[in-house]
Structure 1
Amino acid sequence: MLKNLLTVVLPLMLPTLIYMAYAMFGRRKTAALEGAPASWWTGAPWTWLVTGGVVLAAAVLVTVALTGGFDTSGTYHPARLIDGRVIEGETTPSAPDPASPAVPRP
């Protein structure tokens, strides 16, 4: 859940949150000088905010896909249901090949 929040939701929302903070700060300053300002979302550049969010989310997802992952030399055991409980999938190290002699490490 936290991973989805940090890799998808936060990058999508970050440009809008930054703009919202900027607009509210600017509107507060304007309200002190002139009067009651309009809402922050009336003049928001929605196309740029949505595009920025999608680009940021895509960059995060590509980065996670390229840098994350598991060791591929092990054996994967898929998730299974045992006595009504879901046992998560796991990767265990591969057993050494019995035909090849063990090489001593220095």
Structure 2
Amino acid sequence: MLRIALIDIFMFSLPFLIYGTYMLAAKGSAPMDVWQDAPVLWLLAAGCGLLLITMATLIQFSGGKPGGTYHPATIEDGVIKPGEID
């Protein structure tokens, strides 16, 4: 779950990171000056769009097959065997 949350946070912040890096490289000014005229609304929209695409992709391509049977986690010989979908 933490992995998915970190992926979502990274994908949302990616437009801000790219913009900040580009502006620092292009203008070479102080980091605070870069964000004075930043197109924050467009960066938020791009971040939300990337976040939605990432979430849809993770939902579509992760997990077990539809209609499968869930077998919960068990302890065998003192070792936890994770749950799975068959």
Shift of 1:63: 1.4
Q: How does 1:33-52 map to 2 (within 5 A)?
A: 39-52=33-46
Q: Which 5+ residue runs of structure 2 have no aligned equivalent?
A: 75-79
RMSD of equivalent CA atoms = 2.6
- Relative distance call for 1:65 and 1:25 in structure 2 (3 A) is same
In 1, Cα distance between equivalents of 2:31 and 2:4: 38
User: Higher helix share goes to which structure?
Assistant: 2
**Structure 1 length normalisation: TM-score?**
0.61
How far apart are the structure 2 equivalents of 1:37 and 1:27?
Answer: 10
Q: Which has the larger radius of gyration?
A: 1
TM-aligned CA deviation for residue 38 of structure 1: 6.3
- Where does structure 1 differ by over 4 angstroms across 4 or more consecutive aligned residues? none
Tell me, what secondary structure is at the counterpart of 2:46? helix
The 5-angstrom pairing of residues 1-106 of structure 1 reads 1-6=2-7, 8-28=8-28, 39-72=33-66, 74-78=68-72, 89-91=83-85, 93=86
Q: What per-residue deviation string (whole Å, max 9, x for no partner) do you get for residues 70-105 of structure 1? A: 13454213468xxxxx975433x4xxxxxxxxxxxx
* CA distance in structure 1 between the aligned counterparts of 2:31 and 2:3, rounded to whole angstroms: 37
Q: Distance in 2 between matches of 1:51 and 1:73?
A: 36
Summarize the Cα distance change of 1:88–1:26 in structure 2 as closer, same or farther, 3 Å threshold: same
CA distance in structure 1 between the aligned counterparts of 2:34 and 2:44, rounded to whole angstroms:
16
SS in 1 for 2:54: helix
